[in-house]
Structure 1
Amino acid sequence: MFKSILVPIDLSDTDLAKPAIATAVSLSQASNGTIRLLNVLQMTPVMLAEYLPADFGAQQRQSSEEALAIVASEVGIEPSRMSSVVRQGSIYHEILEEAQAIKADLIVMASHRPAMKTYFLGSNAGHVVRYAKCSVLVVRH
């Protein structure tokens, strides 16, 4: 049913992502599909850039790639059906771009319980649900 599943992960809270990953694994095994794990690094504000080391961006990307590789190795499906990528930019925009790039059939993502500010400002999960061109499954923790 789902041949290509995208799972965005916040590496600062991997416990939140575990139910989403487990759901994606279950769905991919049912249809022999693939899973792509995605982590999005937010852009460093210009005001802070002068206080950070010159190679901060490269270090941040490398540590995210290493952490994502560890998460991918613990998922429990064969490596040929698992991939991961780190992108940088606006979270929901990069999720949508990656979904389109890999022709995802489904995006499985975790979401916090909505807070009052989320109702007024919107959330990344809300934006993805609204604008994705494929199905989106939001897994609550």
Structure 2
Amino acid sequence: MAPPETKLILCPINLRHAELDYSEYEEAVAMAKRRGARLILMTVSPEFERNLNIRDVDGYWKEEMAKFLKSHPAEGVELETVVRKGSTHREIVRLAKERKVDVIVMKSANPKVQDYLLGTTASHVVAYAPCSVYVVRSYPHT
């Protein structure tokens, strides 16, 4: 029996930590190229933004996503961006169900958390996602 075809990949990224690497995004782009799949790049903003100087939260994160893509282009991949508001792990699973995603490619944890294999977001997504989840291990930079 052949494995199911991958047509749509979801890659959630955290744009709040510019100093972190985006190895999950790089892996998702490479996977999309290899499999001829489309890619959804998403970010999730909290319900209540901590920085009270942001007046248009949705516009702000859409702009941040555009900046990210300008500096990290996904050449040769059909890409869509999504900005959601709410609980990160719930929004990832919700979008995967809504769009019938084939694979989620995400980071395992904040690199500063060394004592756990998976962070709480990745653990929830692995447990509740309706599809395969490819977890890219995050290592602290030394």
Poorly superposed stretches of 4+, deviation over 3 Å: 14-17, 113-116
Distance 2:96 2:12 in 1: 10
Query: Paired residue for 1:94, among 91, 95, 109?
Result: 91
Match of 1:29 in 2: 33
1:23-77, CA deviations, whole angstroms, 9 ceiling, x for partnerless residues? 11111111111111111111118xx8xxx57x83xx2211110111222342332
Q: State the superposition RMSD in angstroms.
A: 2.6
Q: Relative to 1, partners in 2 of residues 1:75 and 1:17: Cα closer, same or farther, differing over 3 Å? A: farther
Kindly indicate which of the two structures has a greater share of residues assigned to helix: 1
Query: What is the count of residue pairs matched by the alignment?
Result: 130
Return the TM-score normalized by structure 1.
0.79
Q: How does 1:70-89 map to 2 (within 5 A)?
A: 70-73=67-70, 74-78=72-76, 81-89=78-86
1 or 2 for the larger relative contact order (CA 8 Å, sep ≥6)?
1
Range that drifts further, 34-43 or 7-16: 7-16
Match of 1:12 in 2: 16
In structure 1, list runs of 5 or more residues that go unmatched: none
Q: Relative to 1, partners in 2 of residues 1:33 and 1:15: Cα closer, same or farther, differing over 3 Å? A: farther
Distance 1:62 1:15 in 2: 22
Return the TM-score normalized by structure 2.
0.78
Identity of aligned residues (%): 32
In structure 2, list runs of 5 or more residues that go unmatched: none
Match of 1:42 in 2: 46
